[in-house]
């Protein structure tokens, strides 16, 4: 799940909610050799949406240089030519419009969009506040005039607004369970949104209204989005133009996209999927790898093909928008998506697996390297060490090491399950500080029973920390597929007065163990034996082809026997 507040380069957006539902600052922002215009594959989304921006006033120093080259996109020779030719919509957050450095930068951007025949969308909360609801965060307008100011500035500077993407009104007014949660009925939310839509259309009469909404591991929450679409249609008199899924990137959440796609199709509402990375992706390359694996799994393994592929980031990565031929940029991620899609088959053969890789024309791909993984969806494999690194917050003096489940951004959404946690370790670079924290009473590793009806808040040990130091938090963790994002190991940082300064989390998720790498034979085929110890755990087996300079990655999987 995701959170957001007003950023400095682009405006209010969110971090993945696996990192918590509190607000935080966000911003927008291999070498590929392509000789001809790329065309979206029939197996891909019919439209590409891309977030972008212009220079803004009063930028926070922490965002200096982060995707600042977004401002350079609006010239004829800007190095995103292939992606631009295939992009249907550019999405601006409201802060870009309201805080743009001057009217001239907006005029240049809007003029260039028209020249390229790219439509303009504005991401903005359209939900008005009430006296009965104390929540005042995401999804809500400060007031109607704020929306009108943004739209008037777009019109004044030559923009033609085609879409408004509402900022998760249903999630924050109905599903959100944090501080000051309101849990309003869909009909009331839709009634208030309808009044705001009327105000928007007083400025842009033909603007279409869509929505961005959270898709997490809860199937009931995903099903409620269809009810929300019905309530909106009844209140406004027309269907939503789209719902863009803001996925929390758990396996359960991705599987919820399939029934959601069917429900929206029945209602003639377009489905978009926001393709970005796990929160742990802290480098440009890691972001690209994570996001690429997401669209590959969703479209090739799950068979979900969205109407809109939406490329945007609310993390510090990637640090650049362009050039499109440089791995790790946001436009390069879109370029990879536009490449031809190969086919990777996978089947059981005796005690092992076999498969074949063919190109978009059905011809074998020889010599390509395939990675074979086992995914511990049953939670039966030996716990494997997981770790994350970070910097101790400024003014931090202590950290509470603990375990959380079904609380504070985690959800036991798929029934009773278990996770296993071994010895938790905290260490700092340069200070010599090291701490080993037991996950509770013996034995270690400890089995953690998880239930939708039970909240776990275990504070294991408070330890001293060094402000500004680089640290590593690690622990052996094993979890079944239905325990993913149900809980996490955490380090919660405090100052000397006890004020919370932030947290790091090692979320429960199934172990992914690489078994081998193997190359295709002359006919694009391969065979792999599966070790008996791995087979006994009944994992999901997955094959992954990383793609090439001109071909998209491919993925296939086999469920346990």
In the predicted structure, residue 44 carries a pLDDT above the cut 80: no
Tens digit of each residue's pLDDT (9 = 90 or more) over 377-390: 999 999 999 999 99
Residue position matching structure tokens 């439209």:
47
Q: Exposed, middle or buried, 273 (CB in 10 Å: 0-12/13-18/19+)?
A: buried
In the predicted structure, residue 122 carries a pLDDT above the cut 90: yes
Helix (H, G, I), strand (E, B) or coil at 273: strand
In the predicted structure, residue 59 carries a pLDDT above the cut 90: no
Tens digit of each residue's pLDDT (9 = 90 or more) over 270-310: 999 999 999 888 899 999 999 999 999 999 999 999 999 99
Asked if the peptide bond before residue 318 counts as cis, ω within 30 degrees of 0, the response is yes
Contact (CB, 8 A) for 430 and 236: no
In the predicted structure, residue 40 carries a pLDDT above the cut 80: no
Query: How many Å apart are CA 105 and CA 71, to the nearest integer?
Result: 8
For residue 276, give both structure tokens: 């970005």
Average pLDDT, the chain: 90
The predicted pLDDT at position 43 comes to: 54
Residue position matching structure tokens 């027309």:
238
Let me know if the fold of 2-337 is the same as that of 343-378+512-558: no
Residue 142: pLDDT band (50, 70, 90) is confident
Query: How many Å apart are CA 477 and CA 510, to the nearest integer?
Result: 8
Edge-to-edge strands, sheet with 343-349:
343-349, 352-358, 525-529
- pTM for this structure? 0.89
In the predicted structure, residue 23 carries a pLDDT above the cut 80: no
Q: Exposed, middle or buried, 422 (CB in 10 Å: 0-12/13-18/19+)?
A: buried
Q: With respect to CATH, is domain 2-337 assigned 3.30.450.20? A: no
Tens digit of each residue's pLDDT (9 = 90 or more) over 172-211: 999 998 888 999 999 999 999 999 999 999 999 999 999 9
Domain 343-378+512-558 carries which CATH code?
A: 2.60.40.1940
CATH class of 384-507: mainly beta
| DSSP code string of 193-248 | HHHHHHHHHTTSTT-EEEEEEEE-S-HHHHHHHHHHHHHHHHHHSS--SEEEEEE-
In the chain, where the domains are located: 2-337, 343-378+512-558, 384-507
């Amino acid at each position: 799940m995701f959170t957001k507040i007003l950023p400095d380069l682009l405006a209010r957006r969110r971090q993945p909610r696996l990192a918590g539902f509190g607000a935080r600052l966000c911003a927008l922002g291999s070498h590929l050799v392509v000789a001809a215009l790329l065309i979206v594959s029939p197996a891909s989304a019919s439209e590409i949406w891309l977030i972008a921006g212009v220079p803004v006033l009063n930028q926070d120093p922490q965002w200096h240089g982060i995707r600042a080259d977004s401002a350079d996109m609006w010239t004829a020779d800007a190095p995103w030519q292939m992606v631009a030719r295939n992009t249907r919509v550019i999405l601006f957050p409201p802060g870009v419009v309201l805080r743009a450095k001057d009217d001239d930068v907006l005029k240049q951007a809007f003029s260039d969009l028209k020249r390229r025949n790219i439509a303009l969308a504005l991401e903005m909360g359209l939900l008005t506040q009430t006296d009965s609801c104390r929540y005042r965060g995401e999804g809500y307008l400060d007031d109607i005039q704020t929306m009108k100011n943004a739209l008037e500035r777009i019109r004044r500077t030559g923009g033609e607004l085609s879409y408004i993407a509402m900022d998760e009104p249903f999630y924050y007014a109905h599903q959100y369970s944090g501080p000051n949660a309101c849990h309003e009925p869909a009909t009331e939310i839709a009634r208030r949104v309808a009044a705001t839509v009327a105000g928007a259309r007083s400025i842009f009469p033909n603007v279409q209204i869509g929505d961005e909404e959270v898709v997490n591991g809860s199937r009931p929450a995903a099903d409620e989005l269809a009810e929300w679409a019905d309530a909106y249609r009844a209140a406004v008199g027309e269907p939503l133009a789209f719902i863009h899924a803001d996925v929390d990137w758990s396996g359960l959440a991705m599987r919820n996209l399939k029934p959601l796609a069917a429900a929206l199709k029945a209602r003639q509402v377009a489905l978009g999927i926001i393709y970005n990375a796990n929160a742990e992706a802290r480098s440009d390359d890691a972001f690209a790898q994570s996001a690429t694996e997401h669209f590959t799994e969703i479209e090739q393994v799950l068979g979900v093909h969205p109407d809109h592929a939406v490329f945007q980031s609310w993390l510090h990565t990637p640090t650049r928008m362009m050039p499109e031929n440089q791995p790790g940029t946001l436009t390069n991620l879109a370029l990879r998506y536009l490449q031809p899609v190969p086919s990777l088959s996978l089947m059981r053969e005796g005690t092992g697996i076999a498969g074949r890789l063919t190109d978009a024309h059905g011809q074998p791909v020889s010599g390509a390297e395939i990675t074979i993984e086992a995914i511990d969806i049953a939670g039966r494999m030996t716990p494997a060490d997981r770790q994350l690194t970070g910097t101790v917050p400024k003014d931090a003096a202590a950290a509470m090491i603990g375990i959380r489940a079904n609380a504070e951004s985690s959800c036991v959404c798929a029934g009773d399950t278990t996770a296993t946690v071994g010895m938790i370790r905290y260490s700092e670079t340069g200070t010599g500080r090291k701490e080993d924290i037991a996950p509770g009473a013996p034995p270690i590793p400890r089995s953690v029973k998880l239930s939708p009806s039970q909240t776990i808040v275990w504070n294991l040990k408070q330890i001293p920390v060094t402000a500004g130091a680089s640290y590593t938090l690690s622990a052996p963790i094993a979890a079944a597929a239905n325990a993913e994002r149900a809980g996490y190991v955490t380090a919660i940082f405090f100052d000397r007065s006890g004020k919370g300064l932030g947290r790091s989390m090692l979320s429960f998720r199934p172990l992914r163990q690489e078994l081998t790498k193997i190359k295709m034979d002359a006919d694009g085929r391969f065979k792999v034996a599966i070790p008996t110890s791995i087979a006994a755990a009944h994992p999901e087996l997955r094959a992954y082809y990383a793609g090439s300079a001109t071909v998209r990655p491919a993925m296939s999987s086999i469920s346990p026997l």
